[in-house]
Chain A
Amino acid sequence: MLEKYLDFVFKYPKSILAILSLITVYFFIASANLSEDNNPYFLPKDHPARSTIFDLRDEFTGTYDSVMIALHNEDTVFNQASINAIFDLSRAAERMNYVDETDAQMLQDLKADHPENSELVASIDEILADGMTPSDGLIARELLNRAVEWQLTTKQLRNLSVFAERVDPVREMAGLSSTENVFLDEYGTMFAQETVNKRNQDIEFVKNAVIDNELIEYGPISPDGKVALIVVELSILEDDATGQVRAYEAFKQLVADYQIAHPELKDDIYISGVPVFFAAQKQVIDHDFATLLPIVLLLITIILAVFFKTILGVIIPLINVVMCTIWTMGMMAVVNAPLDVITAILPVFLLTICLSDAIHVMAEYYHQKKIVKSRLVAIRSAMILMASPVVLTTITTCLTFIVSTSSSIESLRNFGLFISFGMFVALIISLLLIPALLALFPKKDIFKQQHAQSSSDVSKKYFISRLLVSALTPVMANRKMFTVIFIGLFIGSGFLASKVRVDDMGSGYFPKQSDFRISDDFINNHIAGTSPGWIEVDTGKDNGALTVEISHFIDRLEQHIHQHETVNYSYSLARYVRRINYTLNDFNPEYNRLPEDVERFIEIDEDTQEPYEITISGSDIIRQSILMFENSGGSDVTNVLSEDFSKTVLLYTLGTTVANDYQAFLDHTLPWIEANKPDGVTITHAGSPIIWTAVLDALVKSQTVSASIALLTVLLVMMAWFRSIRLGLAGTLPLLSTVMIYFALMTLLNIELNIGTAIISFLVLGIVDYSVHYILRIQHEIKNGFTINHALVNAMRVSGRAIIANVLVFSIGFIALLFSQHQALIDLGALVGLSLLISGLVTLFVITLFAPWFFKDQLNASQSSKTMAVMNEART
């Protein structure tokens, strides 16, 4: 079979190369359509942790992610320049949109695709007529509503959704010039309006309206009056990476232009918020991969050159991995799988990991060439020897990746699926490309004909081989002692592995001096935090939220959450009602509270001038407070009340982006709600804390369940392949040990398990190359009649050398990630290189250590065959 395949490849090398090239060109062209999904949450939209916020958006305003602009003045922001800046920036931000000529082109293309649809054409013409402005948002949304009726394609629908939000992105604003304040002027007139609603607003007026005002403090302004915040809620789709980056750039430009135009403004200005976080992350990752990919290529080129010392030894494996990378990216585009935060690192992984097969084949080829001194014969021998192990290792690795990433996290699933695809096509390409390419240059071998040497003689010359033999000989000589050491190491690693910290550091992954990190830290430390969350209370009854019981519950809940150190700011129905109650009672401190069930007052009868007591229901006070607010110009009540007043929502912001802080906050809050919520109400949570803790929860589950399944898969495949339980264990035990050591190292180095570092454990489980090649070589040597230690030494000399080359490629290839600007990628680079290095060393150590037990059956068989041979010889 193998011989026939090799005959075919040697007969048609040019055709094979042409076909491979054509397929590569096809996927290269296809990869231009690769879509992006900047969804940073890793969970699908319909996951309960994410979908709740979409439901809340149907009911409440103030529920979109926000860009925050903080103005900091060393003395006070109560100065004319700062107050004017707040007004001007707010008005400018309100009118922003994030479309450009590419969006216009998209609309033109859509029009060209449907020339017969006069309504569509007319609407698009209307949008494009006077330039694309926020007023076109309604037209775009109307087009979306008709998309199904007009049978637009999924891609056109997606483009229109993206456009509708980019062209009219601002949903709500907050700040001194946007948040509706409730206050009295000196004549007792009640205002429910923006505090700064015009340029050159009187500073004393502003001060009086915001000081000691719970609707404003910690939100639009810090208690010390040195920081003011403008909040711009954007409805840009969470997975619209380009839109978010454009928004971030537009805000930076807005602020920079304003500072130049208004030199009187001395404030420092910081920009942060959830969309900015995603945009900054996207920018860093894009920048990294534009610069890191060439570094990866350069590093693996150097390693290949050092290792093989020939041009073909460098070029062939490089062509192999570049091809498989293009095929994989192209396939992602073909099946419409997006490039997200996780799959964006696929090219680096593919370039390094997919080298494995080519390295093993090429190493064997050069080894054989030194023995047989003929390129064609050498490649034939190498392919015959290597086809079986590379197929086994690749299939096992692919299976393991797919199984181990079958968690609830879609990004990981896609990563597992496409890295498996990449490895599989790398195998196919290497099985075709290497012999076909080598077959094109057979004549050169004539000049190098020398005396043939034995395999053993050749391998003895390798430096790495000699080094390995020296290092592992003590293990073979002192198995008992090293067994004790291994058991100690295994138990110790297991213990440390159980202590690994699961977390996500959010903005902490950015360099401390990056603009984004500085801004994020500033806002989190000085004013409302950048991580929003919402708690919805649904009474199930019209007007049910406007009761004394619910408002008191919300008030106590708000007080409770503020006991947690991460909570910077919140607003709620209780705040509005208390503030209005206080205001309408002329700031009598006695009324700076929520109404009780029944309020009693003494009135004077106008006719008799006699005092009399009246009672008023607290719920009537609440309902009339809200009515008063609405009638006085306030519309922000939709931030806390649904339109039928059956539901109310409490918004809070946390001054952290660390997932474990989110978990601590939820641990503080959820039990309290469970113990204190009124009968009959339903509580729903949404926002950053819920999403990120759900991501971590899914991650932990996928780590424990998927890792176990993956180990079992490897064990079963190995046992089936080798037809031996012992050899199955020989293949699996090094992987298990490596995973233990990997997690133990993470604990020791205080590196958290996050979605990035989790990939590595799957990788470690999937990379079975080391053990398979080592085991097969040992088996081969045993079959040749060598004793176990002799077989081990021979295997170390041949396979050990290829393993070390693999380890070096993997480790050094990922070193490129250490040059990243993103701490998560730096950690990933360090850990992946380290873990694959550990995997290679542990494989050599563990199999060498327990070889007499692992290969007991093979040794017995070999002994039997020897005995039989001796007996046969004796008989003869």
Chain B
Amino acid sequence: MKLTCFLASMSIVFSAATYAEDADKILQQVRDRNDGKDYLSTVTLRTLSEDSVLNQRQFYMLQKDIEKDEVMVLAIKAPADVRDISFLMRSFEEGTAQEDEQWMYLPAFRKVRRISATDKRGAFMGSEYSYYDLDKLRVTDFDSKVIKTDMLDGVETYVIEREPKSQDVINKSGYYKLVTWVDKQRKLILKQQYYDAKGILFKQLDIDKVEKVQDIWTITASTMSNFVENKKSTFLFHETLYNQGVDDAIFRKSKLKRGIKDSDVAELTKISEL
């Protein structure tokens, strides 16, 4: 499984879902959705403050399942001052004791640096999305319960309340409670609310657009709103492709410094340069 659960799973469940009432079962189904063997997209990340654009980044996103681990590489293409910054993230199978790994290459420092994966609250590229938000859905880190079913824009959903099981999970995610809307049919997370230490609802994820790509339900636009800071960030996925046979070598730490070249992507996808 690849497309790391970017906001929890962007693909469809091919088989008919079983409507499990148990929250963990539902979430496990979300996590285990078939989302292709690998995934490649060009992404625009835009952050706005009261409707004025604060910054806009463009990058390549590549994901792949390697054995039971999920790996992702992000390579920044624009703007110029952050061009060629790249990230490598490896998430190990849930339930194993192994800590996730995060690596970052900063051209200005000429080094690949490991970043603590015990704390994923960092703002991804200065946006309202944290690294934790990009991570694959974690089922066992939280105590979850279905609190109701709800219609969300005409879609039937389970509403699941989730509370972190330990201080470590809080430290890692920065969240003290989550409320998640899961599409009953497609097993996609369509909306998620985030609460802070004071119990304040401070962030909300909304899925703006879901499309079928290569017969896989794929989230192609989403918005993360921060109510306290009155800012929001949007992800727009362009030219998303599944199962392009992305080489495992691209996800090696030693390749991070070289980055993902336009030619690599063109080779893989035959898409034009950004």
Question: Measuring CB to CB, which residues of chain A are less than 8 angstroms from any residue of chain B?
Answer: 91, 94-95, 133-135, 137-138, 168, 170, 185, 187-194, 197-199, 543, 584-585, 601, 603, 614, 616-617, 619-621, 623-625, 627-628, 630-635, 643-644
Residues of B with C-beta under 8 A to A619: 81
Residues of B with C-beta under 8 A to A628: 104, 106, 109, 113
Task: Please judge, given known A-B contacts A584-B109, A631-B115, whether A624 and B82 are in contact too, CB under 8 Å.
Answer: yes
A194–B174 CA distance with the chains assembled, in angstroms: 12
User: 7 closest pairs, A vs B, by CB?
Assistant: A134-B198, A135-B199, A633-B122, A624-B108, A633-B119, A621-B108, A193-B119
- Verify if B168 is at the interface (C-beta below 8 Å from A): yes
A573–B54 CA distance with the chains assembled, in angstroms: 19
A190–B107 CA distance with the chains assembled, in angstroms: 16
A627–B76 CA distance with the chains assembled, in angstroms: 12
- Beyond A619-B81, A631-B104, A634-B122, 15 additional contacts (C-beta under 8 Å) are A95-B197, A133-B199, A138-B227, A170-B198, A188-B113, A188-B114, A189-B115, A614-B110, A624-B108, A625-B108, A632-B104, A633-B122, A633-B131, A643-B49, A643-B54
Residues of B with C-beta under 8 A to A185: 116
A134–B200 CA distance with the chains assembled, in angstroms: 7
The contact of A134 among B108, B109, B167, B199, by CB within 8 Å, is: B199
* Interface contact B116-A635, CB-CB below 8 Å: no
- Verify if B201 is at the interface (C-beta below 8 Å from A): yes
A26–B107 CA distance with the chains assembled, in angstroms: 76
* Interface contact A197-B171, CB-CB below 8 Å: yes
How many Å from the CB of A710 to the closest CB on chain B?
50
A833–B161 CA distance with the chains assembled, in angstroms: 68
Residues of A with C-beta under 8 A to B85: 624, 627
Residues of B with C-beta under 8 A to A625: 108
A625–B124 CA distance with the chains assembled, in angstroms: 14
12 contacts between A and B (CB under 8 A): A94-B197, A135-B200, A138-B200, A168-B198, A190-B115, A192-B122, A198-B171, A623-B81, A630-B122, A631-B123, A632-B119, A635-B123
Interface size class of B (residues with CB under 8 A): 35 or more
* Interface contact B198-A631, CB-CB below 8 Å: no
A543–B79 CA distance with the chains assembled, in angstroms: 12
Residues of B with C-beta under 8 A to A620: 81, 107-108
How many Å from the CB of A639 to the closest CB on chain B?
13
* Interface contact A632-B115, CB-CB below 8 Å: yes
Residues of B with C-beta under 8 A to A187: 114
Residues of A with C-beta under 8 A to B227: 138
How many Å from the CB of B261 to the closest CB on chain A?
15
Residues of B with C-beta under 8 A to A194: 171
The contact of B54 among A135, A170, A614, A644, by CB within 8 Å, is: A644
* Interface contact B115-A623, CB-CB below 8 Å: no
- Verify if B216 is at the interface (C-beta below 8 Å from A): no
Contact with A along B76-107 (1 / 0, CB 8 A): 00000110010100000000000000001011
Residue of A nearest to B166 (CB): A198
Cross-chain pair count, CB within 8 angstroms = 125
- Verify if B125 is at the interface (C-beta below 8 Å from A): yes
Residues of A with C-beta under 8 A to B122: 192, 630-635
Task: Please judge, given known A-B contacts A134-B200, A627-B82, A632-B122, whether A621 and B115 are in contact too, CB under 8 Å.
Answer: no
How many Å from the CB of B56 to the closest CB on chain A?
12
- Verify if B111 is at the interface (C-beta below 8 Å from A): yes
A619–B81 CA distance with the chains assembled, in angstroms: 9
A192–B119 CA distance with the chains assembled, in angstroms: 8
How many Å from the CB of A821 to the closest CB on chain B?
36
A390–B130 CA distance with the chains assembled, in angstroms: 75
Contact with A along B149-161 (1 / 0, CB 8 A): 0000000000000
* Interface contact A635-B109, CB-CB below 8 Å: no
- Verify if B121 is at the interface (C-beta below 8 Å from A): yes
Task: Please judge, given known A-B contacts A135-B199, A624-B106, whether A193 and B171 are in contact too, CB under 8 Å.
Answer: yes
The contact of A635 among B49, B113, B121, by CB within 8 Å, is: B121
* Interface contact B107-A616, CB-CB below 8 Å: yes
- Verify if B2 is at the interface (C-beta below 8 Å from A): no
Residue of B nearest to A192 (CB): B122
- Verify if B120 is at the interface (C-beta below 8 Å from A): yes
* Interface contact B198-A584, CB-CB below 8 Å: no
Residues of A with C-beta under 8 A to B191: none
* Interface contact A584-B124, CB-CB below 8 Å: no
How many Å from the CB of B71 to the closest CB on chain A?
18
Residue of A nearest to B176 (CB): A95
How many Å from the CB of A645 to the closest CB on chain B?
9
How many Å from the CB of A862 to the closest CB on chain B?
81
* Interface contact A137-B197, CB-CB below 8 Å: no
How many Å from the CB of A39 to the closest CB on chain B?
26
A451–B214 CA distance with the chains assembled, in angstroms: 124
How many Å from the CB of A607 to the closest CB on chain B?
12
* Interface contact B121-A633, CB-CB below 8 Å: yes
Residues of B with C-beta under 8 A to A191: 116, 119
- Verify if B231 is at the interface (C-beta below 8 Å from A): yes
Residue of B nearest to A135 (CB): B199
**Best-buried of A194, A197, A199 by chain B (most CB within 10 Å):** A197
Task: Please judge, given known A-B contacts A198-B167, A630-B122, A633-B120, whether A94 and B198 are in contact too, CB under 8 Å.
Answer: yes
A644–B54 CA distance with the chains assembled, in angstroms: 6
How many Å from the CB of A641 to the closest CB on chain B?
10
Residues of B with C-beta under 8 A to A624: 81-82, 85, 106-109
How many Å from the CB of A129 to the closest CB on chain B?
13
Residues of A with C-beta under 8 A to B167: 197-199
A601–B111 CA distance with the chains assembled, in angstroms: 12
Residues of B with C-beta under 8 A to A623: 81-82, 108
Residues of B with C-beta under 8 A to A632: 104, 115-116, 119, 122
How many Å from the CB of B42 to the closest CB on chain A?
20
How many Å from the CB of A590 to the closest CB on chain B?
14
Residues of B with C-beta under 8 A to A643: 49, 54, 231
Task: Please judge, given known A-B contacts A138-B227, A633-B119, A633-B121, whether A189 and B114 are in contact too, CB under 8 Å.
Answer: yes
Contact with A along B217-244 (1 / 0, CB 8 A): 0000000000110010000000000000
Residue of A nearest to B82 (CB): A627
* Interface contact B109-A585, CB-CB below 8 Å: yes
Residues of A with C-beta under 8 A to B6: none
Task: Please judge, given known A-B contacts A620-B81, A627-B85, A643-B231, whether A198 and B168 are in contact too, CB under 8 Å.
Answer: yes
A621–B54 CA distance with the chains assembled, in angstroms: 20
How many Å from the CB of A730 to the closest CB on chain B?
67
Residues of B with C-beta under 8 A to A584: 106, 109, 111, 113
Residues of A with C-beta under 8 A to B121: 193, 633, 635
A75–B232 CA distance with the chains assembled, in angstroms: 47
How many Å from the CB of A38 to the closest CB on chain B?
25
* Interface contact A601-B110, CB-CB below 8 Å: yes
A197–B123 CA distance with the chains assembled, in angstroms: 18
Residues of B with C-beta under 8 A to A197: 119, 167, 171
Contact with A along B111-142 (1 / 0, CB 8 A): 10111100111111110000100000000000
A625–B85 CA distance with the chains assembled, in angstroms: 12
* Interface contact B125-A621, CB-CB below 8 Å: no
A188–B115 CA distance with the chains assembled, in angstroms: 9
Residues of B with C-beta under 8 A to A138: 200-201, 227-228
How many Å from the CB of B258 to the closest CB on chain A?
9
A623–B106 CA distance with the chains assembled, in angstroms: 10
A751–B115 CA distance with the chains assembled, in angstroms: 58
Residue of B nearest to A638 (CB): B229
* Interface contact A137-B200, CB-CB below 8 Å: yes
Residue of B nearest to A581 (CB): B109
How many Å from the CB of B166 to the closest CB on chain A?
9
* Interface contact B82-A190, CB-CB below 8 Å: no
Residue of B nearest to A97 (CB): B198
A631–B115 CA distance with the chains assembled, in angstroms: 9
Residue of A nearest to B121 (CB): A633
How many Å from the CB of A550 to the closest CB on chain B?
15
Residues of A with C-beta under 8 A to B123: 630-631, 635
The contact of B197 among A91, A189, A614, by CB within 8 Å, is: A91
The contact of B116 among A133, A137, A617, A633, by CB within 8 Å, is: A633
Residues of A with C-beta under 8 A to B201: 135, 138
